[in-house]
Amino acid sequence: MPRSSLYIPFLLAGMIITGSSNSLWSKWQDMQCVENCDDPDPQNYILYEQPVWQTLQMFLGEMLCFLPVLYTWLSTRRKAAPVFLPADYDEDERAQIKPVAASQELRGWKLLLLWLPAACDLTGTTLMNVGLLYTPVSIYQMTRGALVLFVGVLSVIFLRRRLWLYQWISLLTVMAGVSLVGYSGSLIKDTVTDAVNLVTAHVTGATPEPIDQSDAAKVLVGVFIILFAQVFTATQFVVEEKIMTRWTVAPLVAVGFEGLFGALTILVLVPFLAQPSIASRSPFFDLPRGWHQMIDTPSVLWSGIAIACSISLFNYFGLSVTRHVSATARSLTDTCRTLSIWLISLGLGWERLMFPISLLQVLGFSLLVYGTFMFNNLVHPPTFLRPSPTAIAPATVEAEEAEALLASSRLDESATLPVDLGQSGYDVLPADEHVKASGVSTIEE
């Protein structure tokens, strides 16, 4: 069935919108007042700072990926499976058929292996939610681009991958871009604080307050926390790839089970984190207090539901883009997502353009994108960094052979079925007759 010409743009737009809304909703949720909201002094407001509950929202969103899987399973059970008569092969043809080893499906107790990437996802996402409390949402999203650096290093160590020189240079470029983004974020925070102090002093006639360096320090601490979180996210990707190379599992099923295992882990940890000795040390892990803050504040509750739904839809759109377009298109769309988050946060007034400081952020983001694209071969590296043709020739030959094998298998699978010739699989003809169809005649004819 041909798809509409608007289907692919719909998938790309859906990925950008849902992916952007994840970070924007999370930051908006962090800005909600949950206690002391009637105090005339805004500095006494207590905002929603519950990264563990936000991580649970993400896992609930991943569990929603079970819905399309369940729908597909129910729809296939209602339909009767087609039955075809066995083909009449000659003795020589049977001898030429070679058994094909079927890949092992991930099922039963082996599904518990997905608990390992779920644990990494739990740790990494919680740390990133903590870092989001201290950084602007655009800095947060750009810093997450350092993921390619850690994935590249871990893939060399654990997956025995080989990286060319230009790929190592691209990883260093990504690191330089992330450093510029974090540094520019701290400078913008200082500039905004200075401007507010000067305006306040001019209006009230009071002496300007001394510059507080804690805001800039918080941004840098947030950037380092987000960078540290990428180690766990990269470990999650490497473990997932290790599992997928040995067993087969549908991507939506894997995402759903990781969400289920992550949610169960948080629910198991709730009694321990609710202990007064632990909850009193940091509001981040005071789960009973966070529960009451979420239930008693409708904006927090409904934004949590929106986050769960957007994460579920983002996984669906992302997998659909990879399937119907390419993984390259998904990488380019993810870059557009970062840009859209920055532009929306500027439009909402959450961030400001401070020239020439904002130029550092633009330069850092440009280096981040260029390094990522060069690592993924979306742009050609400089001539002096390209590998020699003799080094990549064997890989090219293997790829061509694999493509030829795939082409032959597609031809075998596209053979004409009886139903295509106007006969159903249940029809039985006499032994001296063939199927009567266009271009096909009986023996008597």
| Residue-by-residue DSSP string for 218-265 | HHHHHHHHHHHHHHHHHHHHHHHHHHHHHSB--HHHHHHHHHHHHHHH
335 in Cβ contact with 328 (< 8 Å): no
The distance from CA 280 to its chain's CA centroid, rounded to whole angstroms, is 34
SS3 35: strand
SS3 82: coil
Paired residues of 440 in beta bridges: 437
Tens of pLDDT, residue by residue over 284-304, are: 888 888 999 999 999 999 999
Q: Give me the chain's average pLDDT, please.
A: 76
The residue type found at 271 is P
81 in Cβ contact with 75 (< 8 Å): no
Tens of pLDDT, residue by residue over 93-131, are: 444 544 444 568 888 898 999 999 999 999 999 999 999
Q: Check whether 314 has a pLDDT greater than 80.
A: yes
Q: What pLDDT does 82 receive? A: 58
- pTM attached to this predicted model: 0.73
Q: What pLDDT does 394 receive? A: 52
According to DSSP, residue 34 is labeled E
Largest CA distance in the chain: 110
Of 109 and 400, the structure prediction assigns the larger pLDDT to 109
pLDDT band at 427 (very low <50, low <70, confident <90, very high): very low
For the record, the structure tokens of 410 come out as 């597609």
CA distances to 8, 140, 320, 348 from 13, rounded to whole Å, are 9, 22, 12, 21
Q: Average pLDDT, stretch 343-367?
A: 86
Q: What pLDDT does 384 receive? A: 77
Q: Using CB atoms within 10 A of its CB, is residue 367 exposed (0-12), middle (13-18) or buried (19+)?
A: buried
Q: What pLDDT does 190 receive? A: 54
The residue type found at 267 is L
